[in-house]
């Protein structure tokens, strides 16, 4: 493990939590927005969406900001692979129980 608690083989997932690189052409940006399915807005500036990123479907939980009147995705957030989403979904009951015990 490194000082950040990640093993060498976990590096492939480390980049998934980062915001995707900025698109350089307008065609790419337009095509990318068609792949986003906004599932819900958690708050004014946070939302959950499902999208296709680098050919893989991800569940994206991200903060947004307003620029030139448009909502834009920020760096703060996480993109979960389908394997990671399955693990989180399978543990919802345990998470709910822990929240109830700590409320």
Q: What residue spans define the domains of the chain?
A: 8-101
pLDDT band with cut points at 50, 70 and 90 for residue 36: confident
Question: Residue 46 in contact with residue 63, Cβ under 8 Å?
Answer: yes
User: Residue 2: what pLDDT?
Assistant: 40
How far is the C-alpha of 49 from the C-alpha of 61, rounded, in Å? 7
Residue 64: half-sphere exposure toward Cβ, Cα within 13 Å: 19
Which fold, 8-101? Answer: Transcriptional Co-activator pc4; Chain A (2.30.31)
pTM of structure? 0.62
Residues 39-51 have a mean pLDDT of 94
* Residue range 48-64: mean pLDDT, rounded: 95
Read off the tokens for 93. 């009951």
Say if residues 55 and 30 touch (Cβ distance below 8 Å): no
**Alpha carbon separation from 70 to 60, 65, 66 (Å, rounded):** 19, 8, 5
Q: Is 21 helix (H, G, I), strand (E, B) or coil?
A: coil
Letter string b/e over residues 36-48, b meaning 16 or more CB atoms within 10 A of that residue's CB: eeeeeeeeeeebe
Q: Using 50, 70 and 90 to split pLDDT, how confident is the model at 34?
A: low
């Amino acid at each position: 493990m490194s000082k950040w608690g990640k093993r060498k083989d976990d590096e492939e997932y480390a980049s998934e939590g980062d915001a995707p690189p900025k698109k350089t052409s307008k065609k790419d940006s337009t095509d990318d927005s068609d792949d986003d399915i906004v599932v819900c807005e958690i708050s004014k500036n946070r939302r959950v969406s499902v999208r296709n990123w680098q050919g893989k479907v991800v569940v994206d939980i991200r903060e947004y900001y307003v620029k030139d009147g448009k909502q834009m995705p920020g760096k703060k957030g996480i993109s979960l692979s389908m394997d990671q989403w399955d693990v989180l979904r399978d543990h919802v009951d345990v998470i709910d129980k822990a929240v109830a015990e700590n409320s």
